[in-house]
Amino acid sequence: MATANDNQATHSTQPDGSLTITDNRTGKSYEVEISQGAIKASDLLQIRTIDDEPGLTTYDPGFVNTASCKSAITYIDGEHGILEYRGYPIEQLAEGASFLEVAYLLIKGSLPTKAEYEQWVHEITFHTYVHENVRGFMQGFRYDAHPMGMLMASVGALSTFYPESNNIDDPDNRHIQIIRMIAKMPTLGAWAFRHAQGKPYIYPDNDLGYTANFLSMLFKMSEQRYAPDERLVKALDTLFILHADHEQNCSTNAVRSVGSSHVDPYSSVAAGIGALYGPLHGGANEAVLRMLRRIGKAENIPDFIKGVKAGEERLMGFGHRVYKNYDPRAKIIKKACDDVFEVTGTNPLLDIAVELEKIALEDEYFVKRRLYPNVDFYSGLIYEALAFPPEMFTVLFAIGRTPGWLAQWVELTEDKEQKIARPKQIYTGDRRLDFIPSEQRWS
């Protein structure tokens, strides 16, 4: 069993070697250092044909092969289906840790002692309430407002309630804003849900745990105290853990990019929520449910697969930019499905999903392209069983991802090598046109 100290030696910043580049335009050669498997993009600037032209740059839409930071938070090996938070395998954390323990691990860098954990849970529990004016403006949204839009706006608005949060260089100040954000996210998410249902907002119950309190704010009606089934609490807590971080994905990149301007963390996280809102990022689990419903029964699977192979559509919940193996999160979610359905009764769509997975994993089309189930293949089934409407799926993702966003934000603020995000462009437009005033252009 490796410990954090054993691993120190493997993270040396000494150069691994060097790369020699010959510019065939000029015949000149350059040597650039390779360190931790990367070259510095700024080392390419010395490569130019004439002295006053800008140096060579790289063109990388979507940052497919550009590292924007050094990070010690999350490790992914997509070839082998490995995901680790701070070095701990996701399987072990999902099995044995609570979501708040994982949140501490991600943000503080190591697992908490008993005293640290109790203090952490205490602080988060007693910051679950929001200012009454937050409730007021949330009630001002239209009756059919999407909960992600409400969440994004409300988190952004928290910066106006805590203006001191822009003092990002003070670790104590950062700490309290982190506590507030993790604590209030379920309150805001649950109220966005109640709003769409036209039901009264439920205040936090601080005698309940983090996830149980969230379920209470979502589903409590006239009973004295909402008492969720512990197996459902555990399943949702596990889903939060599985979504807690995933290194430099679109929303994390948004948090870091906005945070690099040194704005307060609420504004940065609101940007992350905006990125997550998009269907290419947070919305695939909903598409999986629609697909399973359309397939309808197991006998229709071969025809559906035929259509996928003919390029007519995609098998949603399959394939990943990084994982070329089974997404480790999908395995854990599949198991959580069984636990949830034990309580809620089975969903016939699960049988279709299991059969679909079996057929796809044996089919040459999927095998050749290394397409495996991803985190979204089974998660929508659980969310539906827990009585969430599809618009809430991404809100659940956002609550789970909040500690990851904040861990990445802290790392950014403490990283002396970081600068304000400012990518380059390759300009393809016109130049030096002569402006003709409108009275002449339009005459």
Which positions touch ligand CMC (CB under 6 A)? 246, 249, 284, 308, 314-321, 369, 371, 374-376
Tell the burial category of 440 from Cβ atoms under 10 Å away from its Cβ (0-12, 13-18, 19+): exposed
C-alpha count within 13 angstroms, C-beta hemisphere, residue 100: 22
> What is the rounded CA–CA span in Å between residue 101 and residue 85?
12
Residue 2: closest CA among 113, 116, 101, 92: 92
Note if 229 is an active site residue: no
Q: Which two tokens stand for residue 428?
A: 């393809």
Please, are residues 282 and 394 in contact by the beta-carbon 8 Å criterion? yes
Closest separation between CB of residue 295 and ligand CMC, Å? 14
Amino acid at 83: L
Q: Which is catalytic among the residues 127, 243, 246, 320?
A: 320
Q: Which is nearer to ligand CMC, 264 or 357 (CB)?
A: 357
Closest separation between CB of residue 353 and ligand CMC, Å? 13
Please, are residues 229 and 90 in contact by the beta-carbon 8 Å criterion? no
Note if 131 is an active site residue: no
Q: Which is nearer to ligand CMC, 215 or 336 (CB)?
A: 336
Beta strand residue intervals within 103-243, DSSP E: none
Query: Which secondary structure element, helix H or strand E, spans residue 30, and what is its range?
Result: strand 28-35
Question: Nearest residue by C-beta to ligand CMC?
Answer: 319
Q: Which is nearer to ligand CMC, 80 or 321 (CB)?
A: 321
Q: Which is nearer to ligand CMC, 121 or 315 (CB)?
A: 315
Residue 195: closest CA among 392, 347, 382, 413: 392
Closest separation between CB of residue 397 and ligand CMC, Å? 8
Closest separation between CB of residue 31 and ligand CMC, Å? 33
Closest separation between CB of residue 185 and ligand CMC, Å? 18
> What is the rounded CA–CA span in Å between residue 221 and residue 232?
18
> What is the rounded CA–CA span in Å between residue 22 and residue 91?
46
Residue tagged 């392209």 (tokens): 369
Q: Which is nearer to ligand CMC, 376 or 411 (CB)?
A: 376
C-alpha count within 13 angstroms, C-beta hemisphere, residue 132: 0
Q: Which is catalytic among the residues 281, 339, 363, 415?
A: 281
Q: Which is nearer to ligand CMC, 311 or 429 (CB)?
A: 311
Q: Which is nearer to ligand CMC, 265 or 404 (CB)?
A: 404
Q: Which is catalytic among the residues 237, 245, 264, 376?
A: 376
DSSP string, 372-419: -B-THHHHHHHHHHTT--GGGHHHHHHHHHHHHHHHHHHHHHH-TT--
Q: Which is nearer to ligand CMC, 186 or 317 (CB)?
A: 317
Q: Which two tokens stand for residue 375?
A: 């985190």
Q: Which two tokens stand for residue 25?
A: 């335009």
Closest separation between CB of residue 369 and ligand CMC, Å? 4
What are the CA-CA distances from residue 188 to residues 58, 357, 384 (Å)? 41, 35, 20
For residue 278, the tally of other CB atoms under 10 A from its CB is 13
Closest separation between CB of residue 355 and ligand CMC, Å? 16
Note if 320 is an active site residue: yes
> What is the rounded CA–CA span in Å between residue 349 and residue 346?
9
Closest separation between CB of residue 70 and ligand CMC, Å? 22
> Which residue numbers are catalytic?
281, 320, 376
